[in-house]
């Protein structure tokens, strides 16, 4: 059995105070348990506390970020770690902030010539008021907060009344909401690690679309590895995913979400800079198909963080 790939003290950062706290804790515990069982010097850290002081007190030498949602995926904790001089997994400050903001990332994707579904951005200011929303595309509409992940606050609206209610609900998670054209197609999610495509999975929710309930309720979604799509279409989707990863300047491990319409055209939805890391999450499923067990995937992510920052393992 191989030994640990680094002797540095690893801090697994998870939890926090966002709407994704519980999901983050599950990811963090899975990573912590894998590293502990693998013989690593590792400590679990809940970002809801005084994180900076805890990092110093515990002597953390590299941070494994499993902190989904605000603070973790918007560049905040990355900025703190940069100032502290602690290497960390995943993308840097700017790429994290761009990927977390659906409006900003869509603009970046379009700038790089990548297809995204038609969309409209609404805010709390005079650009939106109940009953006066005029999306330039027909229903149904996908409504989502601009700065949340794990499908938190996402809903599907078929009528203007439902659209108004969905927008109100999404505004509870922040001041801006994305109303997106619904594309009836196959949902493909591509895993990226160290600047290369690991593979992809097709998700088939029992409901109309892949919402929070479908993601986290056992039996609500079927997963196809590899995706049941034409080889050329899958290759194109993987190429687009890698282009999106690069367009935002992402690093480390990401999961890129796309939808392929009936004509075989992939549309880019978003890039997740801190994908779920439970042993049943999508990135580990994709990595397993590529030959990585869970611990090996975690080790690759840690080594990538050290190598990119010029720190010897």
Catalytic residue among 257, 299, 300, 304: 257
Residue 255 annotated in active site = yes
Q: Which two tokens stand for residue 309?
A: 């920052």
| Catalytic-residue membership of 74 | no
Q: Of 255, 281, 292, 300, which is the active-site residue?
A: 255
The SS3 assignment for 291 reads: coil
Is residue 270 flagged as an active site residue?
yes
For 208-230, give one letter per residue: b (16+ CB within 10 A) or e.
ebbbbebbeeeeebeeeeebebe
Estimate the crossing angle of helix 21-37 against helix 294-308, to 10 degrees.
90
Angle between helices 102-111 and 231-247 (to 10 degrees): 110
Is position 21 annotated as part of the catalytic site?
Answer: no
Q: Which two tokens stand for residue 167?
A: 């927008």
Q: What is the DSSP string of 56-110?
A: HHHT-SEEEE---STTTSSSHHHHHHHHHT--BSS--HHHHHHHH-HHHHHHHHH
Active-site hit among 24, 27, 146, 150: 150
Contact in structure between 88 and 63 (CB atoms under 8 Å): yes
- Of 72, 149, 252, 276, the active-site residue reads 276
Is 272 among the residues known to form the active site? Answer: yes
Residue 20 a catalytic site member: yes
Positive or negative torsion for Cα 255, 227, 25, 293: negative
* 180 in catalytic set: no
Q: Within 145-229, where are the H helices? A: 160-171, 212-216
Determine whether 216 is an active site residue: yes
Catalytic member of 20, 101, 238, 300: 20
Q: How many CA atoms lie less than 13 Å away from 37 in the CB half-sphere?
A: 10
Cα-Cα end-to-end distance for the chain: 19
- DSSP alpha helix (H) spans, the chain: 21-37, 51-58, 76-84, 93-100, 102-111, 160-171, 212-216, 231-247, 282-289, 294-308
Strand order of the β-sheet with 62-65 is 42-46, 10-14, 62-65
Token code pair at residue 138: 């027909």
Of the residues 69, 272, 281, 292, which is catalytic? Answer: 272
- Residues with a catalytic annotation lie at 20, 150, 216, 255, 257, 270, 272, 276
């Amino acid at each position: 059995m191989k030994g640990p790939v680094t002797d540095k003290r690893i801090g697994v950062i998870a939890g926090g105070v966002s709407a994704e706290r519980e999901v983050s804790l599950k990811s963090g515990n899975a990573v912590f348990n894998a590293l502990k069982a693998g013989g690593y010097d590792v400590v679990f850290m809940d970002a809801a506390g005084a994180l900076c002081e805890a990092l110093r007190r515990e002597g953390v030498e590299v941070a494994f970020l499993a902190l989904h949602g605000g603070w973790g995926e918007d560049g905040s904790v990355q900025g703190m770690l940069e100032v502290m001089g602690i290497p960390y997994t995943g993308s840097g400050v700017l790429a994290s902030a761009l990927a977390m903001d659906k409006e900003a990332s869509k603009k970046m994707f379009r700038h790089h010539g990548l297809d995204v579904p038609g969309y409209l951005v609404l805010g709390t200011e005079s650009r939106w008021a109940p009953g006066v929303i005029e999306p330039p595309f027909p229903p149904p509409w996908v409504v989502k907060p601009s700065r949340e992940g794990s499908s938190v606050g996402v809903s599907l609206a078929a009528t203007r009344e439902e659209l108004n209610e969905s927008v109100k609900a999404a505004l509870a998670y922040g001041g801006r909401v994305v109303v997106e054209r619904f594309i009836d197609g196959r949902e493909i999610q591509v895993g990226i690690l160290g600047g290369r495509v690991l593979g992809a999975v097709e998700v088939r929710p029992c409901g109309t679309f892949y919402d929070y309930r479908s993601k986290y309720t056992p039996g609500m979604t079927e997963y196809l590895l590899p995706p049941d799509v034409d080889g050329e279409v899958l290759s194109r989707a993987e190429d687009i995913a890698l282009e999106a990863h690069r367009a935002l300047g992402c690093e480390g491990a990401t999961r890129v979400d796309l939808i392929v319409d009936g004509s075989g055209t992939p549309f880019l939805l978003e890039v997740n800079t801190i994908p779920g890391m439970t042993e049943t999450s999508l990135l580990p499923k994709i990595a397993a198909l590529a030959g990585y067990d869970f611990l090996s995937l975690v080790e690759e992510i840690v080594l990538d963080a050290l190598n990119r920052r010029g720190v010897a393992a």
